C-alpha cells in the first residue's frame, strides 16, 4: 500500500488564486501552536506579531519602507521566474546597486546639486543590471547554471562592499567604524510624510510594480517570456529566442534589485555600511512565489513579508522572543504555499497492490 | 486460419470473456458496460476511433489499470488481473504501440530483462533464434537494439511475448510503424500463431487490415460497444459507419495543375545527427512549386524529425544555400525569420510545441501570428487576436469553450484543426505539415485534408510528412520517401503505387537517379 499523487482533471481556478490565503491561514494555525509551545499566550503573541507593529501611522510607514525593497526585487524576479530564469542573486544585485548609487553620492560629496539623486537612481539600476548581466552571459555563452552563478556572485558583491566600507570609502571622521560618510542632502530620497521615514523610494517601488504589470500582461516581450517558461519547445517552434529571455530576465531583475539597494542607502540609511539588507533579495524569492509571479500579487505579498520583519522585531522587544521567529514564519509560509499548490493541482490516492508498470 | 477457429463448437469455452466492464476517468467515462468474448485461436479485432476506449480496455485486460466494475473470465474462470506480471503469468502477452526496449542493450539482453529465470544469456539467445525461425521473424539476438529498424524492434517485442507461450496476444496498432511489405510478414506470423491456438486481440482503426486478418470484430464508440460483426462479411463503408456512427466522409481533390514559382528548394542538405540515436541526413534534394502538394512517406525514425527541424529553423543547416524559401537562402535563418519569408509550419507534437497547454486559445493564436500586425510598438493588440482566433474556430469547426479555453482542454482532433487553421490563415507561401492527421478522428482528418487541398488550389506549396500511406496517396501530387536519412526522388502520385513506395521505405532506391530512381527489390 502506498500514497500516490494524481493530477486533478480540472484544478479549481478559484482555489488556485486563493492558495496564498489558505497558506496564510495555515501559517497562523502553526503560529498558535508554536507560541503555545514557547509558553506564550498565542493571542497576545499573534497580536504582537501581526497587529501591533502597524497600529500607528509611523508603524504603517515603516511597513511601507520595509516592503519597498522587497517589492522591487520580487517584481523583477517574478518576471524572470515566469521565463524559467532562476535568478537567486537579487541580494547581490541589490548590494551592487547600493555600491554604484552610493559611490556616486560619495564621489560628488560637497559638490552636489539637484541632479545628483536622479544620477544615483540611474547608477543604482545600472549597477544591479551589470551584476545580473554576468550570470546571463555565463548562461547564454557557456550554459552555466544561473542558480549557482547568481547565488555565488551575491557573496562576491557582499565582499566588495565589505572591502569598500572597511577600506577606501571609510568615513575619515568616523572613528574607524566600517561605514562611509553620511550622504549630503541632495543625495537622499525625499521624505514624503512628515514625522515618518516614508520616502520617495516607496513610490518608485509601486511604480515599478505597475509598469511590471503592464509589461507581463500587455507586451509581446512579456508574452514571449511566459511562452519560454511554460513550453520551451513551443517557443523554439514559434521563433522566440530563449537567450533573449535569459537576458531580459536578468537585466530587469538586476536593475530593479539595484534600485532597491539604492533606495536603502539613499533612504533610511543615508550611508553605506557592511550590512545593507537583512536578506531582502532572498526573501523576495518567497514574495515572488507567494504573489503567484504576478506584479499585483507580489505587491500584497511584499506587504505581508514586510509585516513579518516588523513582527519579529516587535516580538523581540515586547515578549523577549528571538528574532529568528521571523525566519521560521517566512519558511513556514513558503512551505504552506507550495504544499497547498500541490494539493490544489493533485489529489492523494491510496494505492493497494502497486502494479509494476514495465510490461 | 483453421476451421477450429472459425467454427468453435457450442461447448467451447472462451479464452477471455469480459462482462460489463466500466472504467471512469476524471471527466470521461472511458469504458461503459463493455462485453467482449475472444475464443481460443481467434483473431479478434477491437475497432474504434481515437478516444473510443480501446486502449483503456486492453490496459484492463493486461492488468495495467483496474476496472471500476465488471467481470473478467479467463478460460471460464472468474478472476481479477491486478498487474501485468499476473497477466503474463496467465498467458497474456501484449505488444505496445510504443516499444519498451533499451537502445544500448542487445536483443537477448532486452528479452532477458523480462523473462523470469533467464540468467543464461547464451541459452536464451538459442531460444530466441528458435522462436524467430519458427514464426518467420528473423532477428539476430546479439545485435544492439539501436541498430534495429522499427519493424525489427517490433519483432523483438513479439518474440519477447512468444517466449512465454501466450494464450492471448494483444497487438496495439502494430502496423502504424511498418512498411506494406512488413505488414504482410506480420500477418503471416499472426495467422500462424492463431492456427496454433493462440488468440489474438488486434487493435486498429485501419479497416482493410481488419477485413483481411480478423474473423470477428468488436466495434467501440464513445466507450460503448456499438457492434459485433464478422468483418469479412462487411464493407469498409459499413465498418466505418459502425465506428464513427455516420458515413465515411471523403474529400474532393481536383487538381487544377497550375504550378507557380518554386517555393522550397532543398539543395544537398546534409546534417550530422545531434544525438547518438538520431538520424543523419544525407544529401537531400527537394523542390516544391506553388500549387503543389509533395508527400514524404517513410517509417518513423528515418530522419523525418531531423528534416522537419532543419526546414523549420529549429536546427540550422550547414550552408545558408542548402535551404531556400521563396528564393531566399534560409539555411541559417532562425524560425521567426523563415516565417517572415512565408513559411508556416504544423509540428508533430500539438501540446507543448504547436500550442502551449496552459495558455488560452487567444494566447496560442498570438504564438505564431505575431508578424500579422498583432503587435504594435511592443504592445499586444488583443482585439485583433480575438478576431483571428474566432475566425480559425469558426472556419475550421474547432469545438472549444471559447477564446479563453486552455489549449489542453481541447481534444486532439480539435487542437489539430486549430493549429492547422491558424497556420493556413496566415496565407503562407509554403506550408509544412508533420503527421497532420495522426491520432485524429475520421471526421476531423477529412476536414484537415480538404483544407490542405484547398490551400494548394490557392497556389501555396505544401509539404506533408506522414506515416499514413493512404493519406499521402489521397492528397499528394508527388510522393517521395525518406529512409535512413536519405530522400528518394519525388514521383508523380499517379506514376507510382503502394508496392513501389513500400520498397523505397525499406531503402531500396537510388538518390542519384534523375527523378526516375527505380530499383527493383
Digit-coded pLDDT (tens) for B74-124:
999 998 898 888 998 899 999 887 778 888 888 888 888 877 666 788 888
Residues B335 and B317 in one domain: yes
Domain membership flag for residue B142? yes
At residue B184, the pLDDT reads: 87
CB contact under 8 A, B83 and A355: yes
Put simply, the answer to whether B100 touches A8 (Cβ < 8 Å) is no
Cα of B306 vs its chain's centroid, Å: 17
The verdict on B174 and B214 lying in the same domain is yes
Same domain, B308 and B358: no
Confidence label for B239 from pLDDT (cuts 50, 70 and 90): confident
- With CB atoms and an 8 Å threshold, state whether A239 touches B339: yes
pLDDT of residue A351: 67
Considering CB atoms only, which of B64, B363, B375 is closest to A355? B64
Domain residues for the domain of B499 are: 262-342+428-505
Q: Judge whether B453 lies within some domain.
A: yes
What whole-number percentage of chain A has pLDDT above 70?
96
CB atoms within 10 A of CB A177: 11
Query: Rounded CA gap, B371 and B63, in Å?
Result: 50
Is the pLDDT at B342 greater than 80? The verdict is yes
Q: Does residue B459 sit in helix, strand or coil?
A: coil
pLDDT (0 to 100) of residue B520: 36
Find out whether B9 and B181 touch, Cβ atoms under 8 Å: no
Q: How far is B361 from chain A (nearest CA, A)?
A: 13
Task: Please check whether residue B100 touches A, CB under 8 A.
Answer: yes
Question: pLDDT grade, residue B11 (50/70/90)?
Answer: low
Residues B477 and B361 in one domain: no
CA B518/CA B521 separation, integer angstroms: 10
Distance, in Å, from the CA atom of A17 to the CA atom of A291, rounded to the nearest integer, reads 9
Which residue, among A13, A222, A238, would best test binding to B if mutated, counting the most B CBs under 10 Å from its CB?
A238
- Inform me whether the pLDDT recorded for B379 exceeds 90: yes
Structural domain contains residue B303: yes
Taking an 8 Å cut-off on Cβ atoms, the answer to whether B347 and A237 are in contact is yes
B428 touches chain A (CB under 8 A): no
Residues B195 and B240 in one domain: yes
Is B100 within 8 Å of A357 when comparing Cβ atoms? no
With an 8 Å Cβ cutoff, are A239 and B27 in contact? no
What would the DSSP string read from start to end of B371-411? Answer: TSS-EETTEE-HHHHHHHHHHHHHHTT---S-TTSBGGGS-
Domain of residue B88, CATH code: 3.40.50.300
Which residue intervals of B7-147 are DSSP H helices? Answer: 54-61, 84-90, 107-112, 121-134
Q: What is the pLDDT of residues A146-159, one digit of tens each?
A: 999 999 999 999 99
Backbone torsions φ then ψ of B296, nearest 5 degrees: -115, 115
Distance in angstroms (rounded) separating the CA atoms of residues B118 and B112: 6
Q: What is the pLDDT of residue B274?
A: 76
Q: What's the confidence (pLDDT) of residue A89?
A: 95
Please state which of the ranges A190-199, A298-307, B439-448 shows the lowest mean pLDDT.
Answer: B439-448
Under the banding of pLDDT at 50, 70 and 90, the label for residue B514 is very low
Q: Nearest CA of chain A to the CA of B259: how many Å?
A: 29
Mutate to test the interface with A, among B335, B343, B377, B433 (most CBs of A within 10 A): B335
The string over A305-333, giving b where at least 16 C-beta atoms fall within 10 Å of a residue's C-beta and e elsewhere, is bbbbbbbbbbbbeebebeeebbeebbebb
User: With an 8 Å Cβ cutoff, is B278 touching chain A?
Assistant: no
Same domain flag for B440 and B481:
yes
Task: List chain B residues with CB under 8 Å of A227.
Answer: 356, 359, 367
For A217-228, what is the mean pLDDT? 95
| Inter-residue contact B263 to B461 (CB < 8 Å) | yes
| Interatomic CA distance for residues B304 and A265, integer angstroms | 59
Do residues B115 and B140 both lie within one domain?
yes
Alpha helix ranges (H) inside chain A: 13-37, 42-46, 57-82, 90-107, 116-142, 146-166, 200-218, 220-230, 232-238, 242-264, 280-290, 295-319, 325-345
pLDDT at B28 over 80: no
From residue A60, how far is each of A198, A284, A305, B120 by CA, in Å? 9, 20, 14, 78
B:35-74 residues touching chain A, CB 8 A cutoff: 62-64
For residue A352, is pLDDT > 70? no
Task: With respect to residue B516, please indicate whether it lies within any of the assigned structural domains.
Answer: no
Q: Which of A18, A16, A45 is nearest to A314 (CA)?
A: A45
Q: Among all residues of chain B, which has the CA nearest to that of A215?
A: B379
Looking at chain B, the whole-number percentage of residues with pLDDT higher than 90 is 46
Q: A296 pLDDT exceeds 70?
A: yes
pLDDT digits (tens, 9 = 90+) for A93-140: 999 999 999 999 999 988 888 999 999 999 999 999 999 999 999 999
User: Nearest to residue B108, comparing CAs of B91, B123, B93, B88?
Assistant: B123
- Is residue B112 in a domain? yes
Contact A227 B367 (CB under 8 A): yes
Task: Please indicate if any CB of chain A lies within 8 Å of the CB of B29.
Answer: no
Provide the 10 A C-beta neighbour count for residue B354: 28
B501 and B452 share a domain?
A: yes
Spatial contact of B431 and B463, defined as CB atoms under 8 Å apart: yes
pLDDT digits (tens, 9 = 90+) for B274-306: 777 778 999 999 999 999 999 999 887 788 989
B77-79/B69-74 β-pairing: antiparallel
Q: Residue A230: its chain B contacts at CB < 8 A?
A: 356-359
In terms of domains, do B163 and B220 share one? yes
B416 found inside a domain = no
* Position B388 pLDDT exceeds 50: yes
Comparing A174 with A10, which gets the higher pLDDT?
A: A174
Facing A238 at nearest CB: one of B25, B114, B368: B368
Name the minimum distance, in Å, from the CA of B351 to any CA of chain A: 9
Please determine, for residue B2, whether its predicted confidence score (pLDDT) is greater than 60.
Answer: no
Residue B395: pLDDT band with limits 50, 70, 90: very high
B22 and B79 in a common domain: yes
Interface test with A, best of B158, B359, B426 (most A CBs within 10 A): B359
Average pLDDT estimate for A31-53? 90
Residue A1, pLDDT score: 63
Tally of structural domains, chain B: 3
Chain A contact present for B262, CB below 8 A: no
With an 8 Å Cβ cutoff, are A221 and B378 in contact?
Answer: yes
Is residue B425 within 8 Å of B388, Cβ to Cβ?
Answer: yes
Same domain, B270 and B236: no
* Calpha distance B257→B274 (Å, rounded): 39
Report yes or no on B511 lying in a domain: no
Residue in B closest to A357 by C-alpha: B64
CA B6 – CA A75 distance, rounded (Å):
72
> Is a pLDDT exceeding 80 seen at residue B150?
no
Average model confidence (pLDDT) for chain A?
Answer: 90
Angle at B472 between CA B446 and CA B391, to 5 degrees: 40
Q: How far is CA B197 from CA A124, B2, B41, B166, B439, in A?
A: 82, 9, 4, 10, 32
B464 and B452 Cβ atoms separated by less than 8 Å: yes
Shared domain for B325 and B224, answered yes or no, is no
- Confidence at residue A354, expressed as pLDDT on a 0 to 100 scale: 47
Question: How many angstroms separate the CA atoms of B359 and A227, rounded?
Answer: 9
| Chosen from A355, A356, A357, A358 to mutate, greatest number of chain B CBs within 10 A | A355
**Among residues B492, B495, B521, which one has the least CA distance to residue B508?**
B521
C-alpha angle with apex B218: B214 to B224, nearest 5 degrees? 160
Give how far B368 is from chain A: nearest CA, Å. 5
Q: How does residue B246 score in pLDDT terms, banded at 50, 70 and 90?
A: confident
Residues B359, B406 contacting (CB under 8 angstroms): yes
- Tell me phi and psi for residue A318, to 5 degrees: -95, -30
Instruction: Give me the helices (H) in A38-145, please.
Output: 42-46, 57-82, 90-107, 116-142
Contact A220 B375 (CB under 8 A): yes
Amino acid at each position: 500500500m502506498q500514497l500516490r499523487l494524481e493530477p486533478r482533471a480540472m484544478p479549481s481556478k478559484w482555489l488556485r488564486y486563493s492558495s496564498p490565503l489558505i497558506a496564510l491561514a495555515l501559517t497562523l494555525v502553526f503560529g498558535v501552536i508554536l507560541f503555545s509551545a514557547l509558553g506564550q499566550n498565542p493571542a497576545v503573541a499573534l497580536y504582537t506579531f501581526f497587529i501591533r507593529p502597524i497600529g500607528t501611522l509611523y508603524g504603517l510607514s515603516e511597513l511601507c519602507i520595509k516592503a519597498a525593497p522587497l517589492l522591487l526585487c520580487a517584481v523583477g524576479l517574478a518576471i524572470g521566474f515566469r521565463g524559467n530564469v532562476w535568478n537567486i542573486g537579487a541580494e547581490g544585485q541589490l548590494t551592487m546597486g547600493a555600491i554604484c548609487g552610493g559611490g556616486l553620492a560619495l564621489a560628488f560629496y560637497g559638490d552636489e546639486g539637484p541632479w545628483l539623486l536622479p544620477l544615483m537612481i540611474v547608477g543604482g539600476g545600472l549597477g544591479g543590471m551589470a551584476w545580473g548581466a554576468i550570470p546571463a552571459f555565463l548562461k547564454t555563452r557557456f550554459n552555466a547554471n544561473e542558480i549557482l552563478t547568481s547565488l555565488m556572485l551575491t557573496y562576491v558583491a557582499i565582499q566588495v562592499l565589505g572591502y569598500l566600507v572597511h577600506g577606501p570609502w571609510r568615513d575619515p571622521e568616523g572613528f574607524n567604524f566600517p561605514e562611509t560618510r553620511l550622504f549630503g542632502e541632495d543625495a537622499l530620497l525625499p521624505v514624503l510624510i512628515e514625522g515618518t521615514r516614508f520616502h520617495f523610494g516607496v513610490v518608485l517601488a509601486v511604480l515599478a510594480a505597475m509598469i511590471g504589470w503592464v509589461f507581463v500582461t500587455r507586451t509581446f516581450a512579456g508574452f514571449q517570456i511566459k511562452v519560454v517558461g511554460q513550453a520551451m519547445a513551443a517557443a523554439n517552434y514559434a521563433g522566440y529566442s530563449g537567450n533573449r529571455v535569459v537576458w531580459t530576465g536578468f537585466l530587469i531583475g538586476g536593475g530593479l534589485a539595484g534600485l532597491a539597494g539604492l533606495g536603502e542607502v539613499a533612504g533610511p540609511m543615508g550611508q553605506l555600511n557592511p550590512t545593507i539588507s537583512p536578506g531582502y533579495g532572498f526573501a523576495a524569492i518567497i514574495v515572488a512565489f507567494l504573489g503567484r509571479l504576478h506584479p499585483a500579487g507580489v505587491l500584497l505579498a511584499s506587504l505581508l513579508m514586510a509585516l513579518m520583519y516588523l513582527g519579529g522585531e516587535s516580538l523581540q522587544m515586547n515578549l523577549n522572543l528571538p528574532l529568528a521567529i521571523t525566519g521560521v514564519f517566512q519558511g513556514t509560509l513558503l512551505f504552506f504555499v507550495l504544499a497547498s499548490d500541490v494539493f490544489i493541482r493533485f489529489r492523494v490516492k491510496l494505492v493497494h497492490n502497486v502494479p509494476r508498470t514495465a510490461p | 486460419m483453421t476451421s477450429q477457429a472459425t467454427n468453435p463448437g457450442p461447448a467451447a469455452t472462451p479464452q477471455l470473456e469480459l462482462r460489463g466492464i466500466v472504467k471512469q476517468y476524471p471527466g470521461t467515462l472511458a469504458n461503459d458496460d463493455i462485453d467482449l468474448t475472444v475464443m481460443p485461436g481467434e483473431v479478434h479485432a477491437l475497432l474504434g476511433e481515437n478516444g473510443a476506449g480501446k486502449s483503456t480496455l486492453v490496459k484492463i485486460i493486461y492488468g495495467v489499470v483496474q476496472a471500476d466494475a465488471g467481470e473478467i473470465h479467463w478460460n471460464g474462470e472468474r478472476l481479477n488481473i491486478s498487474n501485468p506480471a499476473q497477466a503474463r503469468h496467465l498467458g497474456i502477452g501484449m505488444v505496445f504501440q510504443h516499444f519498451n526496449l533499451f537502445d544500448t542493450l542487445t536483443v537477448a539482453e532486452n528479452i532477458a530483462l523480462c523473462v523470469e529465470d533467464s540468467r543464461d544469456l547464451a541459452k536464451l539467445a538459442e531460444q530466441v533464434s528458435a522462436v524467430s525461425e519458427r514464426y518467420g521473424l528473423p532477428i539476430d539476438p546479439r545485435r544492439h537494439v539501436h541498430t534495429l529498424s522499427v519493424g525489427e524492434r517490433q519483432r523483438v517485442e513479439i518474440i519477447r511475448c512468444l517466449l512465454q507461450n501466450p494464450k492471448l496476444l494483444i497487438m496495439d496498432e502494430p502496423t502504424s510503424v511498418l512498411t506494406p511489405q512488413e505488414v504482410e510478414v506480420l500477418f503471416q506470423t499472426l495467422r500462424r500463431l492463431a492456427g496454433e491456438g493462440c488468440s489474438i486481440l488486434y487493435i486498429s482503426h485501419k479497416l482493410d487490415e481488419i477485413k483481411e486478418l480478423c474473423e470477428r470484430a468488436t466495434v467501440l464508440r464513445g466507450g460503448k460497444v456499438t457492434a459485433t460483426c464478422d468483418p469479412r462479411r462487411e464493407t469498409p463503408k459499413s465498418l466505418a459507419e459502425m465506428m464513427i456512427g455516420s458515413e465515411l466522409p471523403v474529400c474532393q481533390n481536383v487538381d487544377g495543375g497550375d504550378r507557380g514559382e518554386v517555393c522550397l528548394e532543398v539543395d544537398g542538405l546534409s546534417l550530422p545527427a545531434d544525438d547518438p540515436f538520431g538520424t543523419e541526413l544525407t544529401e537531400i534534394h527537394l523542390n516544391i512549386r506553388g500549387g503543389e502538394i509533395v508527400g514524404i512517406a517513410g517509417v518513423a525514425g528515418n530522419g523525418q524529425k531531423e528534416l522537419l527541424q532543419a526546414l523549420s529553423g529549429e536546427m540550422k543547416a550547414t550552408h545558408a544555400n542548402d535551404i531556400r524559401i521563396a528564393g531566399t537562402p534560409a539555411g541559417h535563418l532562425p524560425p521567426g525569420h523563415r516565417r517572415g519569408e512565408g513559411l508556416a509550419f504544423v509540428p508533430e507534437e500539438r501540446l507543448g510545441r504547436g500550442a502551449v497547454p496552459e495558455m488560452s486559445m487567444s494566447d496560442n493564436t498570438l504564438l505564431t501570428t505575431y508578424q500579422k500586425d498583432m503587435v504594435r510598438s511592443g504592445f499586444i493588440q488583443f482585439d485583433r487576436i480575438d478576431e483571428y482566433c474566432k475566425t480559425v474556430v469558426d472556419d475550421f469547426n474547432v469545438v472549444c469553450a471559447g477564446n479563453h479555453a486552455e489549449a489542453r482542454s481541447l481534444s486532439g482532433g480539435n487542437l489539430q484543426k486549430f493549429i492547422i487553421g491558424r497556420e493556413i490563415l496566415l496565407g503562407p507561401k509554403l506550408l509544412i505539415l508533420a503527421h497532420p492527421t495522426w491520432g485524429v478522428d475520421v471526421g476531423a482528418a477529412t476536414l484537415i485534408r480538404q483544407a490542405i487541398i484547398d490551400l494548394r488550389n490557392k497556389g501555396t506549396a505544401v509539404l506533408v510528412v506522414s506515416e499514413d500511406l493512404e493519406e499521402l496517396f489521397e492528397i499528394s501530387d508527388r510522393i517521395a520517401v525518406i529512409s535512413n536519412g536519405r530522400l528518394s526522388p519525388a514521383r508523380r502520385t499517379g506514376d507510382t503505387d503502394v508496392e513501389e513506395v513500400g520498397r523505397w521505405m525499406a531503402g531500396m532506391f537510388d538518390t542519384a537517379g534523375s527523378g526516375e530512381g527505380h530499383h527493383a527489390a
